[in-house]
């Protein structure tokens, strides 16, 4: 291992940067492949859970009539509903979530060069909120940032990870990392109604 490092350090600066950059990109690809994948299935399951819990809760409320067993069921369903909704913030909570993601990058020792939310993508029960992110710093710090985002109690998918402009700084490599972080939020009743109306209009237009 030491001989390999000595061989690397003896090479010209340009070759060292190229080798380190290639190694980082390979590690990044492996890290992404094993730890990050689209969460669309998980989001769909959560939205289904929310709808099922809401419907069950409504039925139980109608039949409760002060029966202790049904009241216990209502409490359980209420907890399940809150747990599912906790992973899909509403519109008011989204700004706080995005601020939290940006703060995680800074706490990891990265310079945030770009943090730009895109237009939301509306689905039937939820909206995807993609954010273009570019950070600058050491590869280890970038991995730490992605790991911290993955630990948030919200559903966040990170994809389109790319690396550019690697430079040797002391005993490490500084590089810019680009990615798209997609958060998900639950739609309000009014938003869901509008989405359904827009889909109905689009379906009529195709006929």
- CA 101, CA 181: separation in Å to the nearest integer? 9
Tens-place pLDDT, residues 142-166: 889 988 888 887 778 888 889 888 8
Name the domain boundary from 61, 86, 111: 86
Question: Tokens 């906790």 appear where?
Answer: 86
> Could you report the per-residue pLDDT of 118-140, keeping only the tens digit for each?
998 888 878 888 999 999 998 88
Spell out, as residue ranges, where the chain has pLDDT lower than 50: 1-5, 8-9, 30, 34
Examine the domain organization and report whether 123 and 148 are in the same domain: yes
Domain region containing 169: 2-35+88-206
What pLDDT, on the 0 to 100 scale, is given for residue 111?
Answer: 94
pLDDT of residue 136: 94
> What is the reported pLDDT for 159?
87
pLDDT of residue 183: 85
- Identify the bridge partners of residue 158 per DSSP, sorted by sequence position: 181
> Which parts of 46-155 are beta strand (E)?
111-117, 121-122, 126-138
CA dist., res. 4 & res. 16, Å (int)? 12
The number of folded domains in the chain is 2
Q: Are residues 139 and 106 in the same domain?
A: yes
CA angle 56/61/65 to nearest 5° reads 140
**Are 49 and 141 in a shared domain?**
no
pTM of the entire predicted model: 0.60
Same domain? For 14 and 66 the reply is: no
Which letter, b or e, does each residue of 128-144 get, where b requires 16 or more Cβ atoms within 10 Å of its Cβ? bbbbebbbbbbbebbbb
pLDDT at 16: 56
Q: What's the CATH code of the domain at 164?
A: 3.30.70.60
């Amino acid at each position: 291992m030491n001989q390999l490092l000595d061989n690397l350090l003896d090479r010209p600066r340009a070759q060292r940067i190229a080798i380190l950059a290639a190694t980082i990109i390979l590690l990044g690809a492996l890290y992404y492949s094993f730890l990050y994948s689209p969460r669309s299935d998980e989001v769909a399951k959560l939205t289904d859970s929310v709808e099922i819990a809401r419907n069950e809760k409504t039925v139980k409320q109608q039949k409760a009539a002060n029966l202790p067993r049904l009241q216990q069921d209502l409490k359980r369903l209420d907890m399940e509903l809150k747990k599912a909704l906790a992973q899909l913030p509403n519109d008011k909570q989204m700004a706080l979530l995005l601020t939290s993601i940006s703060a995680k990058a800074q706490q990891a020792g990265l310079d945030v060069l770009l943090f730009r939310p895109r237009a939301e993508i509306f689905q039937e029960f939820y909206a995807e909120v993609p954010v273009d992110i570019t950070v600058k710093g050491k590869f280890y710090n970038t991995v730490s940032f992605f790991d911290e985002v993955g630990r948030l109690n919200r559903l966040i998918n990170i994809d389109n990870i790319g690396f550019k402009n690697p430079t040797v700084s002391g005993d490490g490599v500084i590089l810019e990392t680009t990615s798209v972080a997609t958060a998900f939020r639950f739609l309000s009743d009014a938003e869901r109604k509008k989405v359904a109306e827009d889909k109905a209009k689009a379906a009529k237009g195709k006929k």
